[in-house]
Amino acid sequence: MLYKWKRPVLFSTWDNEIVVYQFLSGDTYLFSDLSKTLIEHCFSKNCFDNAFLESEILGLLESQQHVKDFVSALIKRLLNADLIISEGM
Amino acid sequence: MIADIIPGSYVAIELANSGVLVKSGPFSYLLQSNVPAIANNIGFLYAENLSFPLVTRVFSDFHIAIYPPSGMISNMKKQVQFYLDGQIIFNPFPLHHATAMLEWGMNWCISTQIHTYLIIHAAVIEKDGFAAVLPAPPGSGKSTLCASLVQEGWRLLSDELTLINLTTAEAVPVPRPIGLKNQSIDIIKQRYPESVFGVLSSDTLKGSVCHLKPPSHSVKLQFEECPIGWIIFPKYEADADTELLPKSKGQAFMEIANNAFNYSVLGVEGFDILKKVVDRADCYSFKYSNLDEAIAVFEQLDSPREI
């Protein structure tokens, strides 16, 4: 599944944290550590998928399954926050 | 020369007729009431920001009146009613809570009606040209700490509402009386016997409430905005060791946004200005149980990075 940012969003970064602001809802979300790293990577992409995100943090968690689970949880959180939409929607 | 205290009997006459005009920072309140305790409180706490307009058609941001509601039952119950611009705002409350309700109502006016500033539920004080913002939920010891620091020479910008200028990201003073509750009242009275307190409201929803007069120096500087150097989240914990720990900026941002009255109302402007504030300030969490130690920590705060 391909995802893309539901632009516009605003963000601010400090060290290992990023705060993302959703224009339409006015809600603000904090992401830190690996999530922050991944979000920054995919901000520069028009669209991205699980495989791309998994490749960005490969080897940084205990196992490949942990990597998959982490990415999947992050995608779910971004979708719930209405920050991204899946390409087919 | 401005009087330190104006006799309640004098204030009472004006208050019951044309009203009295209280100015605090960018706001002015026209107050009218026939409640003697309110007259006394205003005479004690607002002598330096008070004027007597002689006519009711003077400009004010908020026109507040506190009078008994009409009807015999309310009069028998000794209740009074809070009016803003002629409209009833809250349910009637006991007469002996009138002074506390006036202060809470004055805060309510700003926090619900004003969106030309980002408004955070936080105390804000200043030393050596930099402001420390102290956001905290009720019961965190924010006002006790703020009252102590102000008595030790910090300038009071506000005990309850931190107003942030949407252009400069600086703190805007609204130096009104500091609301103290329960044991905090005696703690501050004993530590600082020279301090001036208003009338005590007992048995309110928050317990006993009494307001401390802001120092003259703070009132004189009520139009001088101040860059924010520190954001410190205080928490009083019985028997806790004094501890000042760096707090991440992301966490600080989220907590301030949650403590703000109008962050979501301001939308993108709110996000941008809060980002600017957090970018510039050093952020900490602070735990204390001993006021002497707490004061010492604030005196030794490192100068904020260049703003």
What would the pLDDT profile of B238-270 be if each residue is shown by its tens digit? 999 999 999 999 999 999 999 999 999 999 999
The Cα B260–Cα B120 span in angstroms is: 4
Q: Specify the residue for token string 């952020």.
A: B283
Q: Which residues of B touch A (CB under 8 A)?
A: 248-251, 253-254, 257, 263-264, 267-268, 271-272, 275, 278-279
Q: Mean pLDDT over residues A73-81, rounded?
A: 94
A56 or B168: which leads in pLDDT? B168
pLDDT of residue B214: 95
Indicate if ipTM > 0.85: yes
Helix (H, G, I), strand (E, B) or coil at B5: coil
Write the DSSP string, A61-75.
SSSHHHHHHHHHHHH
Tell me which chain A residue has its CA closest to the CA of residue B263: A26
Within a 13 Å sphere around the CA of B264, how many CA atoms are in the beta-carbon half? 12
Q: Is cis: bond before B175, omega within 30 of 0?
A: no
Question: A78 to each of A10, A43, A49, how far by Cα in Å?
Answer: 14, 12, 13
Write the DSSP string, B174-193.
---PEEEETHHHHHHHHH-T
In B79-220, at which residue ranges do the beta strands (DSSP E only) sit? 79-84, 87-88, 93-94, 117-127, 130-135, 155-158, 161-165, 171-172, 178-181, 201-204, 207-212
* Average model confidence (pLDDT) across chain B: 92
Query: pLDDT band at B307, cuts 50/70/90?
Result: low
Q: Pick from B25, B72, B71: which is nearest to B214 by CA?
A: B25
CA angle (B146, B50, B59) in 5-degree steps: 110
pLDDT of residue B56: 64
Facing residue for B250 by CB, picked from A10, A14, A27: A14
Answer whether A32 sits within 8 Å of B250, measured CB to CB: yes
Residue B1 has pLDDT above 50, yes or no: no
Facing residue for A21 by CB, picked from B251, B271, B279: B271
B187, amino acid identity: I
Percent of chain B scoring above 70 in pLDDT: 95
The Cα A32–Cα A46 span in angstroms is: 22
Answer whether A30 sits within 8 Å of B251, measured CB to CB: yes
Residues of chain B contacting residue A10, judged by C-beta atoms under 8 Å apart: 268, 271-272
Q: Pick from B212, B214, B224, B233: which is nearest to B154 by CA?
A: B214
The Cα B290–Cα B296 span in angstroms is: 10
Helix (H, G, I), strand (E, B) or coil at B103: helix
User: B43-98, pLDDT tens digit by residue?
Assistant: 999 998 888 876 667 889 999 999 988 766 656 668 999 999 999 989 999 999 99
